[in-house]
Structure 1
């Protein structure tokens, strides 16, 4: 604390040695905890509300229940796809599946060894021989020739082994004469081998009952499943597979070629008969496996889909509902189901919420700035919502308009959406830094509306940044048109690039897109021009354009000030000259400082004669008032000024400067006078409180407010200089700035010690220019008794309480001086 006081006392128009030149004065902005909490609460409410609102607007199907149509119904309205989706072509898919089933090759079981028939043959012959071996010798002799056994003995057949038993084992009806021949010969192995030799090559080729079962299958072949090896092969040629007739002919041919000298003709003929009788198909159709293969082929066919693009017409109004419409509507309604929406909306709301939070985090006030107000948050939210709704509406309108004009495309019409108006307005009223973040935010949301395409994000982002930059130093309404033209030209280049990316460079589409893009820039200028006055009235913002209008000395309020309080008017004009020059030096807004200086004392119009600069008849009304009453009258001019500023809609920045231009400074003259009167009274119980003689504040919060405070005090004090030489002016400026600085009035604004040095230098230059032609009169200047304090509390101004005789004498002396100068 002592270091702070010491630094204040050592300032004398240049930076103190112990402090760096650019170090800021301690100035923690004093806003109540309740106000800060209210601001934070407003911000979070806006984030939540806008996140939910934008998420719902991105999925509008939740807001209405779609009408359910049936086949043959008439569409009541045009129905478009709200998103891009794939839909199954069930007719084509089913056609492909049927084709796959038809083309699935049938499965046939193939037994190349003929194990079934040949196995029965072996069993029948073996049992016949075994029965002969078990029979008595005499009985066997009576039945015919003996059969040679493995031991070299002959055994007659058992009477129990009959033709029926032999036929049962073979699985076919054996002729009586064939059985008798075999029985008499003892079922010779030679006959068995002959039958096997005749059948085996035929069975290896494959035998089917009738080849007429195969021709319909031949184009795609059949699958032969070898039941022995479990190997499958596909056969497409009929020559390989034999039917029964072919197989029998081959057996007969092979039998004729066979030479068996040991076999008598009757046994050889029996072998042929048995071979032909045992011949049976060994390629059999496997129905169960074939059906399984067909079902697998059906399932293997992938569904056929066709794409429905976002915005594509599903069905037109008055058109009968067909099957294809029902398929598309079913998919559209499935996407719009509430349970799906209730999953999408919270997810999208979270994404948008984090996006909004990031925007507020990046564009919020820094430590060196006055905190943003709820008004700023509401303005940002309103502009964001308006242009988000504009993007949604324009997206649907573009699709409708493009239907009626073949040379237009929805994308070309989207280029004309004046999204850049949003960042342009935000830059005009809240600055380039906030507008840059706002442009990114709005471009992301617009791209989401338009299908999340990155080219549209870049298009609207670039246009928004150019528009925001154009409003950085806007002093006339013509800047709107200039900026709109710049946006339009940039839009043309971007639109041409986007059309080229989509492959439309050598068509008419790029030309149409360039025209609509340029019109979009013109719309930005037109909408901004019409919106600025509305925003100024609705939100109380003050642009440089409005400041220029207020700076005109023909303004009704200034003309009234000039008539009712001419001294105050003259004082305000000089203060405006001082702050305008110094504002340029310290990086403040010269125009705002100048206009605020014009109006900072308009509250004096209600009681002009109570301020010395307006007293023309020599009467000082404060002589008959108590010091406390006089201080209340002086303090009231701030309140009255704020009321007049609101009545004439001067704008919040000027209202704030009017309210802050005295800060909490002390009305020294009346405070000292009150203390003096209290000390002369016998009643010591009455105490004079310093806070009763201080302005209510607040202290200056901005550079412009601090400049007006300093210039107001310096200009008022400069009127008391007897000989306003440059040295005396410099000493006065340093003294006044030191006093205000030491009183802590600049603790909450952005002025640094280096700034104060530059301000003092600027004030010296301006005042020296004003006073350098002043004629110094030889007569002594009569000052107020008791020091250099004016009766109205303005520092170092002569009081209004001079005696009438003194004023008469001064008038005579001044008249003589004027006559000597030839001026009267």
Structure 2
């Protein structure tokens, strides 16, 4: 029975023609893997925001609190000259402006619609009158229609006496008059609400012209509604105005009846527009210029033992002597902070999502911000040089990068200035130092003190420049201020550098310096790996070389990837001979083992690695690479061996899968790809670039189709970029070299260094994906 030695996958597309074709859908990536992680993130956001509001408002709330009705226990005088707004006089002027506004009217559309519907109903009634048997009279009798209509309304006796003479006068017949009268009587009996003007119109307008007539009347009604506010106050006079909107060529009776029809439905359609009137009043009030009042230094605002009045309370608040309205102040501050935090969040959402949705990153941002506000509230007035704005900037730059640091620092600096916790000269000094911390940051630990010195110099120079610009150019003042700022900057630099280990421990985050230390060849665990499993150690270095290139190409954390690659297979040192790279030509123990036993030995390198990582205190972020670089992938070699032994392909593949978890980040995903790519290329004999690229395409697609990146934020487009980076690294390491002539035979000889590292004689250049931990290369 033939068994395919490649790893099973949902769909395989390894060919060059479609190797960069993106699948129909990307795997779903949750920002928060579990509900608990989302809850933790939400809690940190809420607690952090509340702490920000408290840190900023506490200073104002619990200092000078003078409320209306309080008795001043000491004289309250102005500490500085100021031109302030006379609130009482300004309020009076605004009230007067509001009261001078005339009401604004608006059209009541409901009234207009009601009028139109009423007219329509009356016009429909005319149709019904004619349908009931009343017909229009001849054109010759139109001008006598009122006489005609009057005759139809007479009693039987009067009608009988007048009918004969009237028929001749009205150019009709006695029989026709009688028929019309009977029809009208029937109409009125069935519909007593019929109006005389409806009858008039029905007698004048022929049935085939009613539609045109109705259109003219509706248009006239619409035009009248537009000028309704100009109609006479007396409704009885509306008819004369309405007649003017009807055609001149209509007979006077028709114009009169039509006007009556329209006016019978008119209702007032103008009402006071309260919102527009209020808006106009507000505009008028806002246009009033504030009434100013000059306050001089030492001017008595409230005398001792005097009760605080509303006017003096407002003045105390304007002068910054009192914060009386606690909750309005807190609410206003909270809304301002919410707006600022939202802007920072939008910035991070666009450029730094990994930090926006990281509980540790958000916690760090809030923590340093709260510390800055708390220190400024306590010592901002007395010792502003130690407000740790620059320290916060440096810490955020080290942990989260320059963009995040800039966004948070600028926001914090703005609130320090607006809130008045620090005077402008010192604020400029602190902001300058913060800018220097972000701009001159170096990822090398030995350069941190240089950055600290630059921060201190920038803080001193910023103070001098700001003081000169603001008019405080006294030499003594500048020298003293420069000295204080410089040493304050030194203190802040020392504090920020010294706090790094504690912050790493509290937030579980790694600095580039710590990651660099972990990849030092003198690290005890790495030295032990090199001694006990030299093949695995060399494999780890090769994986790191590939992974770094891939990480750099897609903007992942290169330092974290490098550290993860160094330690991902550290568990192999416990049982090194079960892995082919450490056998060095010795007999392969797996040849005499069952697939199940081999699976257990290979699987143990993950659990052994985690145990060693705990023992040597590797950070959690580095430990994650040990299980995640395998994810839940299949140990294909042992699975296929079991299938061959049992003569069936019904062997449970899940038994031969790693337990996971799958890669949770781009960094762990890259190391998974680098691990399997290194194994693939190492098993190929003198492959061409095209063969290497085709092999990598296949293993990348297998991992993708197998769902190994379904919990990672790695996209398919990034997967392709990582592959290209890996191929580029392979090409630089396996370039062609010159052949040297033999000194004895004259033939060309290949020097040892010309043989590509890792080249073997196993298999052919065309390979299927091997399991990196298998005992031999899985070639076709």
Equivalent of residue 465 in structure 2, options 487, 497, 501: 497
**1:570 and 1:324, CA in 2 relative to 1: closer, same or farther beyond 3 A?**
same
**Partner Cα distance (1:789, 1:544) in 2:** 33
Provide Cα deviations, 1:731-765, integer angstroms capped at 9, x if missing partner: 65455445445545456325242442232121233
Structure 2 matches for 1:717-796, cutoff 5 A?
A: 717-723=680-686, 732-745=695-708, 748=712, 749-750=714-715, 751-766=718-733, 773-774=754-755, 793=774, 796=777
Question: Rg bigger for which structure?
Answer: 1
Alignment pair present for 1:690 and 2:671: no
Query: Residue 770 of structure 2 contacts residue 778 of structure 2 at CA under 8 Å; is this kept in 1?
Result: yes
Alignment pair present for 1:532 and 2:533: no
**1:612 and 1:797, CA in 2 relative to 1: closer, same or farther beyond 3 A?**
farther
**1:569 and 1:581, CA in 2 relative to 1: closer, same or farther beyond 3 A?**
same
User: Secondary structure in 2 aligned to 1:666?
Assistant: coil
**1:759 and 1:478, CA in 2 relative to 1: closer, same or farther beyond 3 A?**
same
Kindly tell me the number of residue pairs found equivalent between the two proteins. 535
Give TM-score, length-normalised by structure 2.
Answer: 0.57
User: Secondary structure in 2 aligned to 1:397?
Assistant: coil
Equivalent of residue 407 in structure 2, options 437, 461, 464: 437
**1:54 and 1:8, CA in 2 relative to 1: closer, same or farther beyond 3 A?**
farther
Report the counterpart of residue 572 of structure 2 in structure 1.
Answer: 604
Alignment pair present for 1:419 and 2:418: no
**Partner Cα distance (2:459, 2:352) in 1:** 37
Report the counterpart of residue 509 of structure 1 in structure 2.
Answer: 477
**Partner Cα distance (1:82, 1:47) in 2:** 37
**Partner Cα distance (1:496, 1:780) in 2:** 72
Equivalent of residue 521 in structure 1, options 489, 502, 511: 489
Query: Residue 9 of structure 1 contacts residue 742 of structure 1 at CA under 8 Å; is this kept in 2?
Result: no
Query: Residue 81 of structure 1 contacts residue 332 of structure 1 at CA under 8 Å; is this kept in 2?
Result: no
Query: Residue 533 of structure 2 contacts residue 582 of structure 2 at CA under 8 Å; is this kept in 1?
Result: yes
How far off its partner does 1:628 sit?
A: 4.2
Query: Residue 15 of structure 1 contacts residue 753 of structure 1 at CA under 8 Å; is this kept in 2?
Result: no
Report the counterpart of residue 338 of structure 2 in structure 1.
Answer: 353
Equivalent of residue 673 in structure 2, options 692, 710, 733: 710
Comparing 745-754 and 601-610, the one that deviates more: 745-754
Report the counterpart of residue 450 of structure 1 in structure 2.
Answer: 420
Report the counterpart of residue 181 of structure 1 in structure 2.
Answer: none
User: Secondary structure in 1 aligned to 2:658?
Assistant: coil
Report the counterpart of residue 541 of structure 2 in structure 1.
Answer: 573
How far off its partner does 1:428 sit?
A: 0.6
Report the counterpart of residue 644 of structure 1 in structure 2.
Answer: 612
**Partner Cα distance (1:525, 1:671) in 2:** 57
Query: Residue 421 of structure 1 contacts residue 528 of structure 1 at CA under 8 Å; is this kept in 2?
Result: yes
**Partner Cα distance (1:60, 1:438) in 2:** 25
Structure 2 matches for 1:462-481, cutoff 5 A?
A: 462-471=432-441, 474-481=442-449
**1:512 and 1:628, CA in 2 relative to 1: closer, same or farther beyond 3 A?**
same
Query: Residue 481 of structure 1 contacts residue 522 of structure 1 at CA under 8 Å; is this kept in 2?
Result: no
**Partner Cα distance (1:788, 1:497) in 2:** 65
How far off its partner does 1:626 sit?
A: 4.9
How far off its partner does 1:426 sit?
A: 0.8
**1:531 and 1:787, CA in 2 relative to 1: closer, same or farther beyond 3 A?**
closer
Query: Residue 540 of structure 2 contacts residue 568 of structure 2 at CA under 8 Å; is this kept in 1?
Result: yes
**Partner Cα distance (2:469, 2:770) in 1:** 78
Q: Structure 1: any 5+ residue segments left out of the alignment?
A: 89-301, 315-322, 399-413, 799-824
Query: Residue 717 of structure 1 contacts residue 794 of structure 1 at CA under 8 Å; is this kept in 2?
Result: no
Report the counterpart of residue 359 of structure 2 in structure 1.
Answer: 374
Report the counterpart of residue 398 of structure 2 in structure 1.
Answer: 428
Provide Cα deviations, 1:173-226, integer angstroms capped at 9, x if missing partner: xxxxxxxxxxxxxxxxxxxxxxxxxxxxxxxxxxxxxxxxxxxxxxxxxxxxxx
Provide Cα deviations, 1:462-517, integer angstroms capped at 9, x if missing partner: 4323312333xx33223323323333343344322321243222442123223333
User: Secondary structure in 2 aligned to 1:508?
Assistant: helix
Query: Residue 629 of structure 2 contacts residue 669 of structure 2 at CA under 8 Å; is this kept in 1?
Result: yes
Comparing 625-634 and 481-490, the one that deviates more: 625-634
RMSD: 5.0
**1:621 and 1:30, CA in 2 relative to 1: closer, same or farther beyond 3 A?**
farther
How far off its partner does 1:70 sit?
A: 11
Alignment pair present for 1:34 and 2:35: yes
User: Secondary structure in 1 aligned to 2:414?
Assistant: helix
Report the counterpart of residue 125 of structure 1 in structure 2.
Answer: none
Query: Residue 427 of structure 1 contacts residue 469 of structure 1 at CA under 8 Å; is this kept in 2?
Result: no
Comparing 462-471 and 556-565, the one that deviates more: 462-471
**1:730 and 1:769, CA in 2 relative to 1: closer, same or farther beyond 3 A?**
farther
How far off its partner does 1:535 sit?
A: 1.7
**Partner Cα distance (1:80, 1:559) in 2:** 73
Query: Residue 550 of structure 2 contacts residue 723 of structure 2 at CA under 8 Å; is this kept in 1?
Result: no
Q: Structure 2: any 5+ residue segments left out of the alignment?
A: 1-8, 85-291, 738-751
